[in-house]
Chains A and B, each alone.
Chain A
Amino acid sequence: QFILKMAAVQSGQSETEEEKEIQPETSNDGSRTDGRPPAGSPGVPAPSPGAVKPSAPGEEETLRAVLRFLQKNNLSESVEILRREAGLPDEPEDQTGSESSGTGSGGQEAGGGVGDAGSLLSRVSAAPTPAAATVAAPPPPPSKVGAGDDRPDVNVVLSAYSQQGDPVLYDVYYSGLKKFIESVLDCHRAELSQVFYPLFVHMYLELVYNNHEAESKAFFEKFSGDQECYYADDLRILSSLSKKEHMRGNETLLDFRTSKFVLRISRDSYQLLKRHLQERQNNQIWTIIQEHLYIDIFDGMPRSKSQIDAMSGSLAGEAKRDSNKAKVFYGLLKEPEIEVPLDDEDEEVENEEGKPKKKKPKKDSLGNKSKKQDPNAPQQNRIPLPELKDSDKLDKIMNLKEATKRVRLGRDTLPSICFYSFLNAYQGLTAVDFTDDSSLIAGGYADSTVRVWSVTPKKLRRVKSAADLSLIDKESDDVLERIMDEKTASESKILHGHSGPVYGISFSPDRNYLLSCSEDGTVRLWSLQTFTCLVGYKGHNYPVWDTQFSPYGYYFISGGHDRVARLWATDHYQPLRMFAGHLADITCTRFHPNSNYVATGSSDRTIRLWDVLTGNCVRILTGHKGPIHAIAFSPNGKFMASGATDGRVLLWDIGHGIMIGDLKGHTDAIYTLKFSRDGEILASGSMDNTVRLWDAFKAFDELETDDFTATTGHIHLPENSQELLLGTYLTKATPVIHLHFTRRNLLLAAGAYNP
C-alpha cells in the first residue's frame, strides 16, 4: 500500500511534466562535454524539483505574463512592486525546471531583445530549438561540429557573449566603474563592490569568447587581484581559460552563464549605480548587469561590508530573498506511543535506591514531548513512513532507557571523547559511520572495500545458509539466535563489491542494512545479516560523494558529481525524486530529523534544503567560502550547522532561512559535525587533527530574531567564536573524519592514523 502511494506521487508529478520529458534532464546534465551517455536512463521522467507548481496556477500565470511584459519594457520598478504585491517569488532562473511554463510561449518572449536575453538564455537550456532560432547566434565554428546535436544549448549559452564592444575599452569601462565605486559614500561602497566580481568574470569571458586572448590576459592580470580572496578558487579555474575552445567544456563557466549571479543591493545604492552608468553611457557594463546579473533590490539601509561578506562567497552569489520564503516544517514528528513495561520496573528499582524525585519530571517531559503537536511539525503522514517493527520498538525502548542515563552536557560538563583510530589504513580511509546505538562501526576505503566492526563484545555473525536454515525449528523461542552461524563469528567483516573508492557510508537505523556509495557511480545496499550486497542502485553516472539513510529508514538520499541529489527507497531501483539545482558537485547529503527534508551541500558553496514531498528547493543558504563537506541538524530540527573546507562552521536557522552563527577556529577542512543528543554541544572534526566543541546552547539561545532580520535576511553576526569554543582536542596525527554521540552523550570520534 505504501509503495503504491509513493508511486502515485511520482506519476502525478510526471503528468504535470509531460512536455518536459522529451527534453534533456537539465541543462547541467545535458551539457556534459565528455562522451558518456547522458544519464543511464534516458526514458526516465525527470521530476525536476521546481516543476511542481504551487496551487492556483491559472491566476499566477496571468500575473507572470504581466510581469514579463513589464520586464520587457524595462519597467523594473513596476516589476518589483507588482511582485511584492502579488507575492510572487522571483523567477528562479537557476532552476531550469521552473521555466517549463515559459516554454510554451518561448517564441513570443524571444523577441524581447537584449534586456530579456538573460531569462531567455536559461529558458533556452530547457527549450533549445526555438530559442536558438531566434537569438542571433553565430553558426557554430567547424571545430565544434563534433559537439553534436545533443548539446546545442552550450553554443547558445555562449553566444550571448557575441555582442561586444571594443575589447580595448573593457579595461577603461571596468576601471571607470571602479573609480566611481571607490568615490561613492562609504555606506554604498561595500554594496556596490559586490558588482566587481561578476562583472569581472563576465567581461573576461566575453573577451575570451571573442578571441581577444592578449586583451583578456591583460585584463585578468590587471584586475584579478582586486577580487575578494574567497573567489580565489574560481579565479584559478578562470585563469586557465584562455581560448574560446576551452569555454565549451568548462562546467564552471557554464554554471556562471546558465545562472544569473545574484546580488542584494539596497534601492539607494542601486539607483546610484544606475544613474552613473546611464550618465556615462556605459552601455557595455549596463548590458552585462541587465543580462547576467540578478539584482535583488531591497528597501532600507545599505548593508555593511561584514554583512555582505558573511553571506557572499558562493558560486552564483547570494540566495534571492524570495527563495527562502517557503514555509519549512522543521518540527519533529510525534513519537509513536510505546508501552514500556520493563522500563518502569527498572526505574522503580532505581527509585527505591535513591532518587525518587528526579524521575517524575523527567517522565513528564518525555510524555509531553510526544503528546503535544508541534505547530512547526509536518503532518505525521506528510510523507509515508515505514511502520514500526517489533524490533524497532525494542530499540526505541532501549533508546529511552539509555536516554534516562544520559549525561546532561553543557558549558561546565563537557563530554568525554573516545577516539577510534584506524591503524594501517595507509591513507585509504574515506568514510566512517557508527550505528545509532554505537555498537557497530563501518569504514569505507579507497581500495573499494567496506569494513564493518563490532565494538561491543558481541561478534558479527552471518545467517546460516538456506540449507541449514531449513533444519531449524522455526517455532522455538530463540529462533533468532539459532539462525546465526556461530562459525562465522568475528570482530569485523569485509564487504567487497564496489569498483572504486567508497566515499560515503551509512547504517540503517535498524542496523540491518548498510549503504555505501562509491566512485563507480553506484550506491550499494548491504545486508548486515548475511554480509552480502543486496542491491546496487545505478542512477548517478559519476562518482557519488555521499549517501545517507533517512532517520526512519526505508528512504535514502545520495548526491555526487552529477550535481543531482537523488532520493531513493530501498525497494525501488529508480530514484523517487531528483533534486537538481546545485551548480557544482553535491558533496554531502543529510536528512532532516523529521525525514521530510533533505539538505545538500555542494562545491558551489551553497546548501540547499529540499522538500522530499514536493521536490522543491525550499532554502538556499550561502555564506561558505569553500566546498561544504559536513552538515548536521540539531536534534530539535530547528537549526543546522555546516562545515566547509574553509575551516568555518556556520549555523543556520532553518525556519527563517538565515545564518545565525559563524564559528571560526579550525584551520583545515571540516569533515564532520555532530550535535550532542540534547543539542547543547556541537562537535566538529577536521583535517587539522582536532576535535572542537562549541556551545551550541549559547549560540542558539542568545539569538534574537526580530521581524526585520527575518524578512530582509540581513544578519548581523556577533564575533563570539572564542566564547563559544569550549574545547580543542588534538590528536597526534589523525584527521577526524567522523563524530558520533552515543545515547548517553559520550562523544566518539574516528579517523585513520596517518603518520
Chain B
Amino acid sequence: MAEERRPKQCTVVVPTESMKAMAESIGVGQLQEESCVALSDEVSYRIKEIAQDALKFMHHGKRRKLTTSDIDNALKLKNVEPLYGFQSQDFIPFRFASGGGRELHFYEEKEVDLSDIINTPLPRVPLDVSLKAPKEQQKAESTEPLKVVKPGQEEDGIQNKTQGATSAESKGKDKGLRLKPRSTHELSVEQQLYYKEITEACVGSCEAKRAEALQSIATDPGLYQMLPRFSTFISEGVRVNVVQNNLALLIYLMRMVKALMDNPTLYLEKYLHELIPAVVTCIVSKQLCLRPDVDNHWALRDFAARLMAQSCKTFSTTTNNIQSRITKTFTKSWLDEKTQWTTRYGCIAGLSELGADVIKTLILPRLTIEGARIRAVMDGPVVSNIDKIGADHVQSLLLKHCASVIAKTRNPPDNVEQYRLDYGYLGPMLCSHVVKARTQAALQAQQVNRTTLTITQPRPTLTVSQSSLGGSGGPRTPSIIKVPSSLTLMSPRPGTPTQPSPPATKYIVMATSSGASSTQQVITLSSSQSGGTSTVQSATSGLQPLVKLESGGGPGLTASRPMQKYIVVSLPSSASLDGKGSGLTAISSSTAQLEAGMKLERSDSPGASTH
C-alpha cells in the first residue's frame, strides 16, 4: 500500500466497507459511518507505518522480497504481538467472495486437525546450508601464487570465472554443466606412441601392417582412452579424403570404424556424433573416387552401409533415434529427383541394409518409379557412361535386395507378367531373381539338413572353406551359397578369422568389380583384416541354425571359419566370374591414384553427404 506511486500517496486508504466487514467478523454490528472513516484512516496509516518498518527488515535481511516475517518483526518493533502462523503456500493466499452487494477478500483459515498433522509422514528435510567455492580457486588461494589476469582478457576471463563459480553452485543445472571445464584425457607416452603407430599403419601402404593394426584395434582392451582421438581421426580423415576423392583412404578409415565396433571393450555411443557423419558420408557422397566410371566406390558404399546398419542395431535407442533419423536422411535424398546415381545407390544400400522390414515398406513401393528411371538411362540416348554404370549398379542392388524379400513375402507362382505389372521395368528381372531365390532357399533347407547330418565330423566343412580360400570358387558351392549371401548381409558381425586372410582378401578384391556381390566381398575384406575373434552370436535368424550347428561342432575359431567359408563361397554365386580380373585392377588403380590425388590438391567441393 505504501508502495503506491506518489500521486496517489495521499489517497490510498482502506475502504470503509472493509472496516464494516472486519467489525462484523468480530461481532460488532452497525458501525457508524463516521467511526468507519476514522478507523479506516487510522488503520491505513498504521498499515503504512508497519509496511515501512518491514522494508527495513527486508533491506537488512539482504533480500528483495518482503516476507511475512518482516511484517512480524515490524510489529514486534511496535510492541505489537506478531501474527503467528501466517504461513501460506500460495503467493497470494486470499480468497474472494461476494454476496449481498459486497465484495470481500479474506484469508482462508481452515481448521486443522492435529492428528492429521501428527500422522502424516514427515516431509523430507530440506537440504542444509552449505558453502561452495570453486576447487581450483581454493587451491590457488592456499598454495599457489595469485593468478594475474591480463588486462585484455580480464573482462571475459574473470567474468567467466565468477560466473563459473556461481553456476557451479547451481546444483547441476544445465548451465552449470555447460560451463564445467572440459577435462582433457592425457595420454601417456606409450599410448601416444601406440596411437601414432596404429593410425599410421591403418592408413599406410603396408597391407600386413594394416591388418595387424586393425586387429589390435578390434581386440585390445585398453583403448578407451584413445577412443576420442580415434573418432576424431576418422571423422577428420573422412572429411579431408572425401574432398580429395581418395577412395583407398576412405576404405581404410571405414575399416578402422569396423574394427572399433568389433572391439567388445569399447562403447562407441559417446562418439557416434563423429563417427556416423563420417560413415554416412562414405555411403551417400556424390563422388568418392577420382574416376567414378572405373573405380569401385560401390564397394565402399556397401561396406559403409553395413557399418551403418550395424551401429543402428547396436546403438539406436528411443532417445537418440539413430535408426529413424538415418532412415529419414536416406529416404529424403533418395526421393529427391535430382539426386545423382551414386548417392541414390548409397541411399538404397543404406536402407536395404537396415533389414527386410525397411525394404518392404520403403523400397518395394518405389520399385516401379525407380525402374522407370533406370530404363530411361539404359534405353534412352546415351547421356554419359557414368550415369549408365550408376543405373546398372542401382538396378543390380535393387534386384539383389528385393528379390529375397519378395521371395519371402510373395506367394508363388511367379508370373513374369504379373511382376511387370507390379514392379514395372524391373519386374521380369525381379521375377527371375525371385525364382532363383526360392530354389536356393529350398536348396539351403536341404543344405541345413545336410550339415546337421555332418556335424559330428567337421572335416568336410573345413575342406570346403580351404578350397574356397584357394581361390577356386568351387563349382559345387554356388547352389549352397545364394541364400547365405543375403543372410550374411544382415549379420551385423561378419565372421572374422584370425589370420588366414591375405589370400582371401585378394580373392575378394577381384570379386569387387561384380556389382551385386560387392558388399559381400568387402565384408570378407574387412573381416579378414581385422581378424578379430568376435563372436558370431548376433547372426540373424536366417543364419542362426547354421551357426549354432557349427559352433556346436567346434568352439570359437572353428565356428568362425565356416562362416568365413560361406561368405567366400557365396561370392561367385552372385558375381559374374569375369568380373574378377577387372576388380583386381580397379583396386590397384585406385591405390595408384591415391598418391596422385594427394598431389593434385583438388578444390572440388566435398562429395554430397546427405547426413
Q: List B contacts of A744 (CB < 8 A).
A: 141, 145-146
Q: How far is the CA of A627 from the CA of B55 in the complex (A)?
A: 12
Q: How far is the CA of A752 from the CA of B77 in the complex (A)?
A: 27
Q: How far is the CA of A733 from the CA of B162 in the complex (A)?
A: 11
B117-152: CB near A (< 8 Å → 1, else 0) gives 000000000111111111001101110011111010
Asked if B10 and A420 sit within 8 Å, CB to CB, the answer is no
Asked if B166 and A421 sit within 8 Å, CB to CB, the answer is yes
Q: List B contacts of A418 (CB < 8 A).
A: 133-134, 137-138, 140-141, 165
Q: List A contacts of B49 (CB < 8 A).
A: 240, 249-250
Instruction: List the B residue with the shortest CB-CB distance to A671.
Output: B62
Q: Is B155 an interface residue (CB 8 A)?
A: yes
Instruction: List the A residue with the shortest CB-CB distance to B8.
Output: A239
Asked if B126 and A420 sit within 8 Å, CB to CB, the answer is no
CB proximity of A735 to chain B, nearest CB, Å: 6
A698-755 at interface with B (beta carbon < 8 Å): 727-735, 737, 742, 744-746, 748-749, 752-753, 755
Q: Is B169 an interface residue (CB 8 A)?
A: yes
Q: List A contacts of B41 (CB < 8 A).
A: 242-243
Asked if B45 and A240 sit within 8 Å, CB to CB, the answer is yes
Q: How far is the CA of A11 from the CA of B16 in the complex (A)?
A: 57
Asked if A737 and B45 sit within 8 Å, CB to CB, the answer is no
B-binding segment of A63-71, A423-431, A529-537: A423-431
B-binding segment of A378-386, A451-459, A616-624: A451-459
Asked if B129 and A445 sit within 8 Å, CB to CB, the answer is yes
Asked if B158 and A424 sit within 8 Å, CB to CB, the answer is no
Contacts A423-B171, A732-B175 given; indicate if A453 touches B45 (C-beta within 8 A).
Answer: no
Asked if A501 and B73 sit within 8 Å, CB to CB, the answer is yes
Asked if A731 and B9 sit within 8 Å, CB to CB, the answer is no
CB proximity of A433 to chain B, nearest CB, Å: 13
Q: How far is the CA of A242 from the CA of B12 in the complex (A)?
A: 12
Q: Is A583 an interface residue (CB 8 A)?
A: no
Instruction: List the B residue with the shortest CB-CB distance to A445.
Output: B129
Asked if B73 and A519 sit within 8 Å, CB to CB, the answer is yes
B-binding segment of A118-126, A406-414, A605-613: A406-414
Q: Is B60 an interface residue (CB 8 A)?
A: yes
Asked if A424 and B130 sit within 8 Å, CB to CB, the answer is yes
Q: How far is the CA of A746 from the CA of B137 in the complex (A)?
A: 10
A216-228: CB near B (< 8 Å → 1, else 0) gives 0100110011000
Q: How far is the CA of A735 from the CA of B126 in the complex (A)?
A: 22
Q: List B contacts of A294 (CB < 8 A).
A: none
Contacts A221-B10, A240-B2, A746-B146 given; indicate if A430 touches B61 (C-beta within 8 A).
Answer: yes
CB proximity of A179 to chain B, nearest CB, Å: 23
Asked if A224 and B163 sit within 8 Å, CB to CB, the answer is no
Asked if A420 and B60 sit within 8 Å, CB to CB, the answer is no
Q: How far is the CA of A249 from the CA of B7 in the complex (A)?
A: 25
Q: List B contacts of A405 (CB < 8 A).
A: 145
A-binding segment of B63-71, B333-341, B547-555: B63-71
Q: List B contacts of A729 (CB < 8 A).
A: 158-159, 162
Q: How far is the CA of A590 from the CA of B192 in the complex (A)?
A: 60
Instruction: List the B residue with the shortest CB-CB distance to A220.
Output: B10
CB proximity of B72 to chain A, nearest CB, Å: 10
Q: Is B52 an interface residue (CB 8 A)?
A: yes
Contact of B146 among A407, A412, A443 (CB under 8 A): A407
Q: List A contacts of B59 (CB < 8 A).
A: 587, 627, 629, 645, 669
Q: List B contacts of A745 (CB < 8 A).
A: 146
CB proximity of B3 to chain A, nearest CB, Å: 8
Contacts A424-B128, A501-B61, A629-B59 given; indicate if A753 touches B166 (C-beta within 8 A).
Answer: yes
CB proximity of B62 to chain A, nearest CB, Å: 5
Asked if B169 and A421 sit within 8 Å, CB to CB, the answer is yes
Q: Is B375 an interface residue (CB 8 A)?
A: no
Asked if B62 and A236 sit within 8 Å, CB to CB, the answer is no
Q: Is A416 an interface residue (CB 8 A)?
A: yes
Q: List A contacts of B129 (CB < 8 A).
A: 422-425, 428-429, 443, 445, 451
Number of A interface residues in the complex (CB < 8 A): 93
Instruction: List the B residue with the shortest CB-CB distance to A237.
Output: B52
Q: How far is the CA of A425 from the CA of B161 in the complex (A)?
A: 22
Asked if A241 and B133 sit within 8 Å, CB to CB, the answer is no
Asked if A221 and B7 sit within 8 Å, CB to CB, the answer is yes
Contacts A418-B134, A426-B126 given; indicate if A732 touches B166 (C-beta within 8 A).
Answer: yes
Q: Is A397 an interface residue (CB 8 A)?
A: no
Q: Is B167 an interface residue (CB 8 A)?
A: yes
A431-443: CB near B (< 8 Å → 1, else 0) gives 1000000100101
Contact of B61 among A237, A415, A446, A561 (CB under 8 A): A446
CB proximity of A209 to chain B, nearest CB, Å: 15
Q: Is A525 an interface residue (CB 8 A)?
A: no
A502-551 at interface with B (beta carbon < 8 Å): 503, 519, 542-543, 545
Contact of B127 among A217, A221, A241, A423 (CB under 8 A): A423
Asked if A420 and B131 sit within 8 Å, CB to CB, the answer is yes
B348-390 at interface with A (beta carbon < 8 Å): none
Instruction: List the A residue with the shortest CB-CB distance to B133.
Output: A420
Contact of A746 among B45, B140, B166 (CB under 8 A): B140
Asked if B165 and A416 sit within 8 Å, CB to CB, the answer is no
Q: Is B291 an interface residue (CB 8 A)?
A: no
Asked if A407 and B131 sit within 8 Å, CB to CB, the answer is no
CB proximity of B198 to chain A, nearest CB, Å: 42
Contacts A236-B9, A242-B10, A423-B171 given; indicate if A430 touches B60 (C-beta within 8 A).
Answer: yes
Q: Is B417 an interface residue (CB 8 A)?
A: no
CB proximity of A560 to chain B, nearest CB, Å: 10
Q: List B contacts of A453 (CB < 8 A).
A: 131
Asked if A456 and B142 sit within 8 Å, CB to CB, the answer is yes
CB proximity of A408 to chain B, nearest CB, Å: 10
Asked if B62 and A687 sit within 8 Å, CB to CB, the answer is yes
Asked if A732 and B151 sit within 8 Å, CB to CB, the answer is no
Contact of B133 among A220, A419, A603, A627 (CB under 8 A): A419
Asked if B61 and A727 sit within 8 Å, CB to CB, the answer is no
Q: Is B79 an interface residue (CB 8 A)?
A: yes
Instruction: List the A residue with the shortest CB-CB distance to B44.
Output: A240
Contacts A727-B155, A730-B163 given; indicate if A415 touches B170 (C-beta within 8 A).
Answer: no
Asked if B56 and A734 sit within 8 Å, CB to CB, the answer is no
Q: Is B48 an interface residue (CB 8 A)?
A: yes
CB proximity of A727 to chain B, nearest CB, Å: 6
Q: List A contacts of B175 (CB < 8 A).
A: 732
CB proximity of B595 to chain A, nearest CB, Å: 54
Instruction: List the A residue with the shortest CB-CB distance to B168.
Output: A421
Q: How far is the CA of A456 from the CA of B133 in the complex (A)?
A: 11
Asked if A246 and B166 sit within 8 Å, CB to CB, the answer is no
Q: How far is the CA of A728 from the CA of B156 in the complex (A)?
A: 10
Q: List B contacts of A587 (CB < 8 A).
A: 59-60
Asked if B133 and A414 sit within 8 Å, CB to CB, the answer is no
Instruction: List the B residue with the shortest CB-CB distance to A546.
Output: B60
Q: List A contacts of B73 (CB < 8 A).
A: 500-501, 519, 543
Q: How far is the CA of A155 from the CA of B7 in the complex (A)?
A: 31
Asked if A34 and B132 sit within 8 Å, CB to CB, the answer is no
Asked if A603 and B56 sit within 8 Å, CB to CB, the answer is yes
CB proximity of B192 to chain A, nearest CB, Å: 33
Known pairs A421-B133, A728-B159 / 19 extra A-B pairs, C-beta < 8 Å: A221-B10, A239-B10, A240-B49, A407-B148, A412-B151, A413-B148, A414-B151, A418-B134, A421-B168, A423-B169, A431-B62, A542-B77, A543-B73, A543-B77, A627-B59, A687-B64, A729-B158, A729-B159, A734-B169
Q: Give 4 closest A-B pairs by Cβ, nearest first.
A: A239-B9, A421-B169, A419-B165, A240-B48
Tell me the A residues contacting B by CB distance below 8 Å.
Answer: 34-36, 217, 220-221, 224-225, 232, 235-237, 239-243, 245-246, 249-250, 405, 407, 411-431, 438, 441, 443, 445-446, 451, 453, 455-457, 492, 500-501, 503, 519, 542-543, 545, 561, 585, 587, 603, 627, 629, 645, 668-669, 671, 687, 691, 727-735, 737, 742, 744-746, 748-749, 752-753, 755
Q: List 20 A-B contacts (CB under 8 A).
A: A36-B79, A221-B7, A236-B2, A240-B48, A414-B154, A416-B140, A416-B161, A417-B161, A417-B162, A419-B133, A420-B132, A420-B133, A445-B129, A457-B142, A501-B60, A668-B64, A687-B62, A687-B64, A734-B169, A746-B141
